[in-house]
Amino acid sequence: MTTIASVFSARALRAAVALSAVAVVSVLGAGGVASEGSPAPDQIWRSIFARPAARAVDELEAKKQALGAMLFSDTRLSRDGDRSCASCHRPESGYSDGLRQARGRDGTALKRNTPHLFNLAEGKAFYWDGREPTLESQARVPLTAENELAADWARTLADLGADLDLRAKFAAAFADGGVSEATVIAALAAYERSLVSPLTAFDRWVAGDEAALSEQESRGFRIFVGKGGCVGCHGGWRMTDDGFHDIGVDSDDPGRSAVAGGAAGIPAFKTPGLRQVSKTAPYMHNGSLATLEDVVAHYAGGHLKRPSLAPNLVRDLDLDAQERSALVAFLKTL
Ligand code: HEC
Ligand code: HEC
């Protein structure tokens, strides 16, 4: 028999405490008891996974977002007039594209899988290797990359500026009013900051509705925060620590080790947020895992074993068929 006490391992509790010291302190202050090895009260998990209050958006910001939404799918941002950001970050696929690796202009595969774009307003670094510090600096890259949009700024700005309706929208959204590189980028970034993953069954559970998760989903949650150790990296409401880790994905990609800030010899990648994860297959930086079942099998012994593996990755995780299904069922509630 698995008791609640045994699934809430000391390891998971320590991870939880590290994640949300403030929340834990406030729960304990309210009379809770949580010592090493004892069950973590659900109240602690609820505060760890609770969403912050929605970001206040003033009228000008709302106009930037609306303009950015239009530009995001505007093919005038590409040299051949046939692609846009939304060609790869498709809204109906969780802002991903369903491909193992993104497809470039010339039809060949790009190096990596197209990530979703949910909840990036609080992101700390962008791309799988975190090489871009802001959404603004990131957006400039695909715009002119030869195998992505390959835009010629002068022509793009002339095309956009010739559209009177669009010009009026720039004038309304920006104090300086002009159609420029800076305003195009600012509008795209404002739109991306507005992409918040929708409320789900898990949020209802977090808000206190015990019945929001089925028995199987709830069992999966216990594994996520317990013996699976998933919460050690996928904690917080976005379900990411914004960190970079080697979790033993089979690939030749050096990841973070090839960019400033990375550690030599450690093929680490950014922990992706797991909200809406059932919509964003395939998974990992190289799209090498086709389904959530494959992801769970990866963590349950299927990963490469090497010295650079993250210290907080649970080694030798043993999950039987029912536990695997439960964990997958939980991931689908996000
Ligand atoms: C050809 C497909 C393609 C196009 C077009 C494209 N992207 Fe991407 N995008 C990708 C891929 C692939 C990555 C991951 C690359 C990497 O990590 O090295 C990515 C990463 C990103 C990220 C980082 C997300 C994260 O979690 O770190 C953002 C933000 C983003 N793209 C926004 C945009 C915007 C804005 C546009 C349009 C200006 C755009 N993309 C156009 C394929 C594309
Ligand atoms: C040591 C930190 C760490 C732990 C612990 C961890 N993950 Fe991850 N997770 C990552 C990183 C880093 C990636 C991306 C790796 C890559 O692309 O090579 C990832 C990727 C994923 C993905 C793919 C998401 C996508 O958009 O491609 C899923 C799903 C996932 N993890 C679920 C889990 C589950 C379930 C557990 C527990 C069994 C877990 N993770 C434990 C760091 C971690």
Q: What is the structure's pLDDT at 127?
A: 97
Q: Which residue has the tokens 């090497």?
A: 306
Across the strands, what pairs with 283? 289
Lowest mean pLDDT among 26-30, 175-179, 261-265, 303-307: 26-30
Q: Looking at the predicted structure, is the pLDDT value of residue 233 above 70?
A: yes
Ligand 1 and 143: CB distance under 6 A: yes
Q: Which residue has the least CA distance to atom 10 on ligand 1?
A: 114
- Mean pLDDT on 111-140: 97
73 and 37 together in one domain: no
Q: What is the structure's pLDDT at 32?
A: 34
Q: 54 in a domain, yes or no?
A: no
Of residues 36 and 229, more confidence is placed in 229
Q: Looking at the predicted structure, is the pLDDT value of residue 290 above 90?
A: yes
Q: Looking at the predicted structure, is the pLDDT value of residue 16 above 80?
A: no
71 and 184 together in one domain: yes
Between CA 96 and CA 106, with CA 102 as vertex, the angle to 5 degrees is 140
Ligand 1 and 112: CB distance under 6 A: yes
107 and 132 together in one domain: yes
- Where in the sequence is the domain holding 182, given as residue range(s)? 59-193
Greatest Cα pair distance in the chain? 70
323 and 215 together in one domain: yes
What CATH number did the domain enclosing 90 receive?
1.10.760.10
82 and 137 together in one domain: yes
Give the ligand whose atoms come closest to the C-alpha of residue 112: 1
Q: Which residue has the least CA distance to atom 36 on ligand 1?
A: 85
pTM confidence score: 0.90
Which of 137, 169, 193 is the C-terminal boundary of a domain?
Answer: 193
Distance (Å, whole) CA 43 – CA 28: 10
Across the strands, what pairs with 244? 270
Long-range contacts of 316-324 (CB under 8 A, 24+ apart): 317/227, 317/228, 317/229, 319/223, 319/228, 323/219, 323/223, 324/293, 324/296, 324/297, 324/300
Q: What is the structure's pLDDT at 4?
A: 37
Token reading at 307: 């010295």
Yes or no: say if 296 and 319 are a contact pair by the CB < 8 Å rule: yes
- Mean pLDDT on 146-166: 93
